[in-house]
Structure 1
Amino acid sequence: MTERYTLEGGPAVEALLQQIIADVRAALEPLLPKDRWTSLLLIGGYGRGEGGVETLPDGTERPHNNLDFLLVTRQLSGGDSSTLKTQLDAALATLATKHSLGLDLGMIDEAKLRRSPALVMWYDARFGHKTILGDPQLMPSLTQFSLESVPFWDIRSLLVNRGTLFVINDMLLERGLESETERRTVVKHAVKGIIGYGDALLFAHGQYDWSYAEKRRRMQQSPVVPERFKALYEEAIAFRFRPDYSRFAHRDLKLWQLDLRCQLSDVHLSVERQRLGKPGLCWDGYIETALSANLRPERQSLLRQGARLVRGSAIPAPASLSLAAALGVRLGGPREVLSAAFPAVAYTLPELRERGLARELLGSADLSPAALRRAYLRTWRTHGDINFATVVQKLGLTLEETP
């Protein structure tokens, strides 16, 4: 039986994806150095067999998302790895043009992969992948990547990563959508963000799974998730499997963003109450609480804590922080600072102290929502996502303050 790449696509789009995979295999295999790689994998939605399918106006079905590949190398030097990546990217770029579809490639050394912490991305990849070339037993053999081993802080990082898409949407909506492409971008960001929040909520209640179809089922059957959010997640998951932008053609995206902000703030707070073990947690005082939590011994080893204390943080701790929170800035580093400041930025919290701390941590010009967003995304560009600078350029975002 032929493996499927989509959950709902017909024979034609499945055949197209099979051809694309065959082309990738034929183009990349001759470039791979002998005995210096283990496996070439298809991961992401299509690796799970749950990729999205868009129906064009003429009825033709097309893959909606990029295809994500992962090459697991073996003992390649840094220079050789960079050279190989350049060659493989060039080959994929030719195929991407041919098929009018994004083809993305990541690379990781096998030894590094085996040493990696049990992040949710590796758990997902272990169970949701297809081996294109090489050893098909590599990922199944990585039994350390179990759901039980995934740390809660990684799920919080995933939530903030997806939540940052809403901060970007705020900037796009504030500027005014100039094209249908930008409108589609806002919808895609929102759908991806909603699913990310829902996934974090499922994890918080012990119901996460690598399969989107299974998460969809568990979300609808969960006795602890509010019905309103279940409906939101269902709409997002349905869109992920079979995108239909016409559903959003007459939706006021600014009003939708406001409604999402309220719902997602509640979801985020629910997740953080579980993560931090504080049932009464609220956003007032959250930055102090979140940063202080970096002192907990399970967050990182004592050796690593000591090294971070000596090295310091790229983001200085405001003098107004407590000693525990200031140490948390040094121990957690910029990504933890971004995560702690995120709610004050994304949910436009009314608490002045939270916004004031976010302003100091992020270097914002003032307390206005727009200034906080720009400062947050500037910090995200530097410390959050190495690829974000390209996104800023593509979307034409202005993050710098104007005199």
Structure 2
Amino acid sequence: MIAVGDSARSVETSGVPHPLSRPGETKHFTLEGSDELEAHLERTCQQVLARVRRLIPERKLEGLLVGGGYGRGEGGVLKTEAGDRPYNDLELYVFLRGNNFVNQRRYQAPLHELGKRLSPPAGVEVEFKVLSVAKLRRSPSSMFYYDLVAGHHRLWGEESLLSGCGHHRAAERIPLCEATRLLMNRCSGLLFARERLECAEFSPVDADFVERNLAKAQLAFGDAVLTAFGRYHWSCLERHKRLKSLKMPEALPWWSEVQRHHFSGVDFKLRPRRVAASRAALLDRHEELSSLGLQLWLWLERRRLNCPFDSARDYALSSVNKCPETSGWRNALLNLRTFQLSVQLNPGSWRYPRERVLHALAWLLWQREESEESELLRCVGRELRVVVRSFSDAVAAYTAFWRQFS
């Protein structure tokens, strides 16, 4: 069962191409990919569908959607001497009937193993996520659900699969905390890139990792601003158009830089490249983006929490609840599961654990040069409730915690 959308595919030959004509289901995976690349991705998807149907009983399988850039028809096209190649992960969303928690426990691990087997012939990572339509219908608005519902490629399921999910098509309903979450994830990418840049050995694979995370941050900075003003859109092309025309209600010294970097981020998303940039050049770009990210972070969090923060240190040490939209009793249960009995005497047991990620990130990405190492390690260790003896230990602990609450 293949999608039947009619999204446009026209592009300009220079600059940022025109946006797709409409959201919803798409027929194609890229804007500029060759027919051979499109055929490769279609074959890959059909192979994925066949293997998923072997793994999951038909009575359980309600739908299979391609999400991400390829699902929205804006997947990256890597130009090589051998022709166009895919670049982004291939994100598959498996909708199963029944209890979502039980389905995840039963099928997520086998699907993960299937993804590892399918990735080499696909040429990119193949990733699966188990969902249920019932959960999607009752879930509050988020950027993740909006992107999936507004733009996808349907491989299996009825045309009415996502009926009752109309609230996820309203971008203006995406809460401001989602902009913070986006920045948290992309600034985490900057932290991981910095760690690669400081390794004794720096390979072309490391350079590609750094380049990719710099580009993701460039795109996310503008996207976070759009989200803050209720102007986010599923298409990165339409987002850039909106960003260029957005009238800011206040004079912000970093605004033109956010717009400039967003253009570069869109260009890399659609036309990724593996460049032979030196470590020094990448470090310079990393420092520029980290500095810009801090300015944007403090602006957004002041706006979201209605509280002045003058620095990353001020933000990390502030007792202001960074996740006020969450439920205290649910947070207590989550903390109990995460930290076990040690949380009972912790006054932060009613706070959402993601707050610890936000604080630790502020220390690791923006306070490293501003603080004594002993203070930084102590503060990060306190947030993550671990003992860290070096910066690399702190990043490793942060990575594990971030994966749980990103």
Tell me the TM-score range normalised by the shorter chain.
Answer: 0.7 to 0.9
State which of 186, 197, 202 in structure 2 corresponds to 1:178: 202
Partner-residue secondary structure (3-state), 1:71: strand
Equivalent position of 1:18 in the other structure = 42
Mapped to 2, the partners of 1:182 and 1:309 lie a distance apart of: 35
Whether the 8 Å CA contact 1:48–1:211 is kept in 2: the answer is yes
Which residue of structure 2 lines up, in the alignment, with residue 380 of structure 1? 399
Task: Name which of 53, 69, 85 aligns with 1:29.
Answer: 53
Which residue of the other structure, out of 53, 63, 71, is the alignment partner of 2:77?
53
Of the candidates 138, 142, 146, which is equivalent to residue 119 of structure 1? 142
Conservation of the 8 A alpha-carbon contact between 1:338 and 1:379? yes
Partner of 1:293: 321
What is the distance in 2 between the residues matched to 1:86 and 1:306? 28
1:258 alignment counterpart: 287
Partner AA of 1:379 in structure 2: Y
Change (3 A) 1:140 1:8: farther
Alignment of 1:338 with 2:357, yes or no, is yes
* Distance (whole Å) between structure 2 residues aligned to residue 372 and residue 44 of structure 1: 33
Q: Which segment is superposed worse, 91-100 or 353-362?
A: 353-362
What is the SS of the residue equivalent to 1:70? strand
Q: What are the equivalent positions in structure 2 for 1:1-400 lying under 5 Å apart?
A: 3-58=27-82, 60-75=83-98, 82-145=105-168, 146-224=170-248, 226-246=255-275, 248=277, 252-278=281-307, 282-289=311-318, 291-294=319-322, 296=324, 299-301=325-327, 303-304=329-330, 327=347, 329-348=348-367, 352=371, 355=376, 357-358=379-380, 360-362=382-384, 363=386, 365=388, 371-372=390-391, 374-381=393-400, 383-386=401-404
Q: Which amino acid aligns with 1:385?
A: R
CA separation of 1:148/1:140 partners in 2, compared to 1, >3 Å: closer, same or farther? farther
TM-score by structure 1 length? 0.80
Gap change, CA 1:345 and 1:85, over 3 Å in 2 = closer
1:269–1:281 CA contact under 8 A, matched in 2: yes
**SS of corresponding position for 2:320:** helix
> 1:169-225 deviations in whole A, cap 9, x for unaligned?
111111134311111111112112222232212211322112111112122223337
The letter for the 1-side match of 2:363 is A
Secondary structure of 1:135's aligned partner: coil
CA separation in 2, counterparts of 1:73 and 1:191? 34
CA contact (8 A) 1:312 1:330 kept: no
Conserved in 2, the CA contact under 8 Å of 1:313 and 1:334?
A: no
Task: Quote the sequence identity (%).
Answer: 24
Q: Note closer, same or farther for the CA distance 1:277–1:144 as it changes in structure 2 (3 Å cut).
A: same
Deviates more, 1:219-228 or 1:101-110: 219-228
Cα deviation, residue 68, structure 1: 0.5
Tell me, yes or no, if the aligned pair for 1:167 and 1:373 is still in contact at 8 Å: no
Q: CA-to-partner distance for each residue in 1:51-107, whole Å, 9 max, x for gaps?
A: 00000134x001111211010101168677555445545554444333333211111
Greater shift, 277-286 or 200-209, is seen at 277-286
- Number of residue pairs aligned between Structure 1 and Structure 2: 371
In the aligned structure 2, how far is the partner of 1:250 from the partner of 1:295? 37
More displaced, 249-258 or 229-238?
249-258
Tell me the secondary structure at the aligned position of residue 286 of structure 2: helix
Tell me how large the CA RMSD over aligned residues is.
3.3
* Cα distance in structure 2, aligned partners of 1:187 and 1:278: 34
- CA offset digits 1:28-52 (Å, max 9, x no partner): 3343313212110100000011000
Q: Work out whether residues 71 and 106 of structure 1, in 8 Å CA contact, stay in contact via their aligned partners in 2.
A: yes
3-state SS in 2 of match to 1:65 = coil
Offset of residue 128 of structure 1: 1.3
Q: Distance in 2 between matches of 1:45 and 1:337?
A: 30
Q: Distance between the aligned counterparts of 1:305 and 1:94, measured in 2?
A: 37
Secondary structure of 1:261's partner?
helix
1:385 partner SS: helix
Using the alignment, how far apart are the partners of 1:11 and 1:66 within structure 2?
19
Query: Larger % of helix: which?
Result: 1
AA aligned to 1:73 is L
Question: What is the distance in 1 between the residues matched to 2:153 and 2:341?
Answer: 40
The structural deviation recorded for 1:386 is: 4.9
CA distance in 1, matches of 2:86, 2:332: 48
**CA distance in 2: counterparts of 1:138 and 1:251, whole angstroms:** 50
TM-score (norm: length of structure 2): 0.79
CA drift at 1:360: 3.3
Q: Given residue 28 of structure 2, which amino acid in structure 1 is its aligned partner?
A: R
Partner amino acid for 2:362? P
